[in-house]
Structure formats: C-alpha cells, structure tokens
Amino acid sequence: MAQNNSVRHFASQSRTVLSGSEKRPVAAAVGVKSAPPAERVTVSVIVRRKAPLAAAHVSGKQRITRAQFDAEHAADPAAVQLVKRFAKEFGLTVEHGTPARGRRTIKVTGSVANMQRAFGVSLEHKTLGDQTYRVREGSITLPAELQGYVVAVLGLDDRPQARPHFRVLGEANAVAPLSAGGGFASRRAAPNGSFTPVEVGQLYGFPSGGNATGQTIGIIELGGGFRKADLTAYFRSIGQKAPNVIAVPVGQGKNSPSKAGSDDEEVMLDIEVAAAVAPGARIVVYFAPNTDQGFLDAVAHAIHDKKYKPSVISISWGEAEIAWTAQTMTAFDAAFQSAAALGVTITAASGDDGSSDAVNDGKDHVDFPASSPHVLACGGTNLRGQGSAISSETAWDSTGGGVSNFFPLPSWQADSNVPKSTSPTGGRGVPDVAGDADPATGYSVRVDGKNFVIGGTSAVAPLWAGLIAVANKQNGRSAGFIQPAIYAAASKAFRDITQGSNGSFPARKGWDACTGLGSPIAARVISAVKPSGAAPAAKKKTSRKPKG
C-alpha cells in the first residue's frame, strides 16, 4: 500500500510550466514522426544551490575556495532527494555519482515514454537537412512540489546547439610560401597580411620571453579533434616547444580528428593560438556533444575540474540568444557565476556574422554565451602591422556585437553608453574586448597536415585566454572575473578602435558594440587584472529553509 501511495505522489499533483523552458517550433523539418517509446534518453535535471552565491562572490570582489564552494553552494540536498523520488516514480534511473561534488546536475535515464510522462512533453524525430534529431517543442511541465527546486531540464532535445566561430581564408601555402625548413614564413609582408599567433602577440605587446608555465588553459570543444603530430610540427615551425595538450572526454564527447574542412579547424585554431601566446601553459581540451546538455556539461566540468584546475577557460562556440531557451542561458550563467567565485576567467567568441548574428529577421542579435555578463566577450578587428608596430586596426565587418535582449546592463558598463536593448529585460553590451579576427589578417595554423590561414572571433577567445594565463603567471595569482577591473582601466589598457562597423553598430571613441573597449595593450592589461583584496573568504555557516 505504501508503494502505491508513492507511485501516485507526484502523478497526482497539478503541473506548472518550468520557467524558461519554452522552445520554439522547428521550421522546415521533414520526415516528422513520433520518437519510439522504448528509445533510451538521458537528461540533465539541474537543481538549485544549497545557498545562493553572495554578490561579492559573483562580482569577483571576494573569492571562495573549492572546498567552501562544495560545502555551501552545491546542490540543495532537499532538491536532490525530491528529484530522486520523482525519477523513481516515473521509471527513470538516476546515474550513480550525480550530482558530482560541487555540481548541481542530476543525470536521469529512461525511455521516451517515461520521459514524456515525467516532463509533460512530446518527443518527435525530425529531419533537418541530412540529419535526423530528437526534437522537443513547447514547454516542460513539472509537478507542483518540484517548482523552485528544479531550475532546468536539458537533453530531451538533441539538436546541435552551437556553431564554431571561425573563418578560413585558405591554405597558407596557396597564398604565401613556406620557409625552407617547412615552417611558416614571416607573414608581416605577405600579400594577405596574415600572422602567426606569436606575431599577433608581439603587435599587442605580449611580454617578450614571457611564459605561462604552471598555468592551465581550458578549451571547450563540441566536435572535431587534434593530432599530436600536427601540434609537434606546428610548434617546431614557429620555434616553440609543443605544449602539453590533454583531451578530456565529457559524456559521449571525445577527441575525434578527421580531416580539414571539419571542426578540427576550430580545435586546432584554439589550441595553437592559446599555446603559442602563452608558452609553457598546459592546454586541457574538454570534448562534449554539441547539444545544450553537452555544452553545459563541458563548461561545468572545466570550472569544477579538481584535477587540472584551469585558471582560464576559452569558448569559441555559440549561437544567437534567440536560439537558446531562457532556462539554458540561466543555467549557463549560473555556472559562469561559479567560475567568478572560484577565480576562473571565461573568454568567449562574440560571433562572426555581424550585428544580425546570422538571424534573418531584420533585427539585431548577440551571440550566447558571449552575452553572459560573467563571460569576457571577445570581438574582432582587422589588424595591420609589422614587428611590434600596429599600422592600422579597424573593426572587422563580420564581428558579432550588439545588445543582449536577455541579460540586463551590468554595473561596470553603466558609463559605457551602451545602446538601449529592444527588450525590457536586456541591456548587456557585447563585446567587452577585441583582437585580430578578420581572416584577411588571420592566423597561420596547421590542421590535419595542411597549413591554413584562419580568422574569426574564435581566434580572439583563445588569444585573450593566453594573455590572461600570462598575466596569472606574472601576477602570481589568477585574474578571475576581470570586467570591473578592465572597464575601470579602459583608457589606459586598450587600443581604442574608432573605425569600421559590424552592420548596425559603428566603432567609436570608447566602448562600442563591435570592438568593445578595444584591443589589448598587453602590459597594461596584465597590470589592470592583478588581483587586489580578492582573497578567499572565511568560511561562514549558512542556513536556508527549503521551499515547499
């Protein structure tokens, strides 16, 4: 009898919509049919924190240790128990070890039929292009007792969530000769104006002979892979020792190199740029499936990675805010807030499709996760110069940038004259900073045995990650959440870009919605981001009564 009462416990409750779970209908799908009832699905149920992060933690003013974070700000035990009971009642199995220590994600697995009953959804198979995906549309509903405890449910839909933000100019040996030793010849005088990452660093004043030994740069990848033989050959060609690159599989993700013309180009660009400008740094690449669930798993794994402990994480994948559910962006932003509290910097590409961000609705859009106020959004420029002298730098006409329709204007942008958002809830200006991104002045890199010149804001995120790693080494402590510091130092630490536009937004004096504060004057940025008074907080006991 007790078991029967348990079975009816959640099923008998009224249901309400999980806030922010609404998913737009799929256009231009063919071959639509119901997902097989017995098909197995694993979803992520993300629950609330045991206690909220304090404003001082989220703003980076005061850090906490990982032990303190795990004790005070991981999953609410009451929420975990409720979800486990809920899963059991609907025939779903909770994955052993979830939520992991310090994390808030509970993995549950079950049949399509049981998932549909549990979350009040209809799952279908739809063919988009030449691929068939499991699709969820509309809203997720939950029993009343779970409201307030569950903040997101991801993974019911397995469509690709993000795009890599790189642009290929062409094979390097088709536009400029290789050196006699088989490496890249100097690109300073090349007709296409491309550079090695080291040369870009020189133009921006990265410390001569500087290194990032002892630092770890995390890189998020949602496809593709790398070959160590390519890395060895590439770094030999630019006169550097090959970095220690470690692949970390997350979920079903893995290091899976294939051939040029694939996502390998993103992976190699990220690794080669970050490692070249931060010699000595360990590079840890987190590979995850390209879904909302996989992307967040990779980000959270990197932030809470107690083995490798990256002090800066680079993200070169994203998509227009309109393509994300509100619950997903909120869950990501919560993870980025955790990074700020732990002293981890996140850099993200702002996109390569101008002010529209490839949305064909006649409106302006910004790219997420770059639009999160807890991420350093990286825009792009066209860079011209030789040695350490920049001759010109203008906004790249394809750089992403604009104003968020989801995240409000942060306090550190209050005096930046950010244009008004078209949404009453928005206002965060994108990007924060910029760097060389135009493929016409792009980066000489090696991918799958071939040499290419590649640009895009995908190159700017690892460029800035490398600069932060060098700063962390030089300053003796991780920079953490840097926006308040760099906006305060904007007039001294940045090269202001005042020419060009990305469509709707022109470059102008001060911050603008195509190049942010500008490109780095590296030595001054390193000085500006040196932490002061951001020691880990003393452990405090907190209490919080669970909501019913």
Domain count within the chain: 2
Do 379 and 496 share a domain, yes or no? yes
Catalytic residue among 76, 89, 158, 266: 266
The reported pLDDT for the residue numbered 170 is: 63
Do 454 and 324 share a domain, yes or no? yes
Alpha carbon separation from 100 to 46, 306, 379 (Å, rounded)? 12, 12, 34
Q: Residue 356 belongs to what domain range? A: 165-405+432-528
Do 169 and 138 share a domain, yes or no? no
Q: Quick one: DSSP state of residue 182? A: S
Residue 335 lies in a domain: yes
CA angle, corner 170, sides to 168 and 175, nearest 5? 140
Q: How far is Cα of residue 352 from the mean position of the Cα atoms in its chain?
A: 15
Query: What's the farthest any 2 CA atoms get from each other in the chain?
Result: 82
Q: Look at residues 132, 154, 176 and tell me which one is the last residue of a structural domain.
A: 154
Do 150 and 169 share a domain, yes or no? no
Asked if 371 and 357 count as a contact pair (C-beta separation under 8 A), the reply is no
Is residue 72 part of the annotated active site? The answer reads: no
Q: Are strands 105-111 and 93-94 parallel, antiparallel or unpaired?
A: antiparallel
Residue 416 lies in a domain: no
CB crowding 445-455: b at 16 or more within 10 Å, else e: bbbbebbbbbb
Q: Look at residues 128, 154, 180 and tell me which one is the last residue of a structural domain.
A: 154
Catalytic residue among 72, 89, 270, 352: 270
Count, residues in the chain? 548
Which residues share a beta bridge with 218? Answer: 284, 313
Do 333 and 213 share a domain, yes or no? yes
The reported pLDDT for the residue numbered 7 is: 54
Q: Look at residues 154, 182, 215 and tell me which one is the last residue of a structural domain.
A: 154
Do 172 and 101 share a domain, yes or no? no
Is residue 270 part of the annotated active site? The answer reads: yes
CATH number of residue 309's parent domain: 3.40.50.200
Catalytic residue among 458, 478, 501, 519: 458
Do 376 and 513 share a domain, yes or no? yes
Instruction: Give the amino acid at 107.
Output: K
The reported pLDDT for the residue numbered 191 is: 39
Distance CA(203)–CA(218), nearest Å, equals 24
Q: Are strands 376-386 and 389-395 parallel, antiparallel or unpaired?
A: antiparallel
Do 142 and 289 share a domain, yes or no? no
Residue 191 lies in a domain: yes
In tens digits, what is the pLDDT along the chain, a chain of 548 residues? 334 444 589 999 999 999 999 999 887 778 899 999 999 999 999 999 999 999 999 998 999 999 999 999 999 999 999 999 999 999 999 999 999 989 999 999 999 999 999 999 999 999 988 899 999 999 999 999 999 999 999 999 999 999 999 999 964 433 333 333 334 433 333 335 799 999 999 999 999 877 999 999 999 999 999 999 999 999 999 999 999 999 999 999 999 999 988 999 999 999 999 999 999 999 999 999 999 999 999 999 999 999 999 999 999 999 999 999 999 999 999 999 999 999 999 999 999 999 999 999 999 999 999 999 999 999 999 999 988 899 999 999 999 999 999 999 999 999 999 999 999 999 999 999 999 999 999 999 999 999 999 999 999 999 999 999 999 999 999 999 999 999 999 999 999 999 999 999 999 999 999 999 999 999 999 999 999 854 444 444 444 433 33
Do 267 and 393 share a domain, yes or no? yes
The reported pLDDT for the residue numbered 465 is: 98
The reported pLDDT for the residue numbered 209 is: 79
Q: Quick one: DSSP state of residue 74? A: S
Residue 363 lies in a domain: yes
Do 203 and 339 share a domain, yes or no? yes
Residue 536 lies in a domain: no
Tell which phi-psi region holds residue 437, choosing left (phi > 0), alpha (psi between -120 and 50) or beta: alpha
Q: What is the pTM of this model?
A: 0.93
Q: Which residue has the tokens 């890599």?
A: 164
Do 120 and 188 share a domain, yes or no? no
The reported pLDDT for the residue numbered 38 is: 97
Do 481 and 511 share a domain, yes or no? yes
The structure tokens listed for 350 are: 């702002």
**Positive or negative: CA dihedral 274, 368, 481, 383:** positive
Alpha carbon separation from 234 to 185, 228, 448 (Å, rounded)? 12, 10, 11
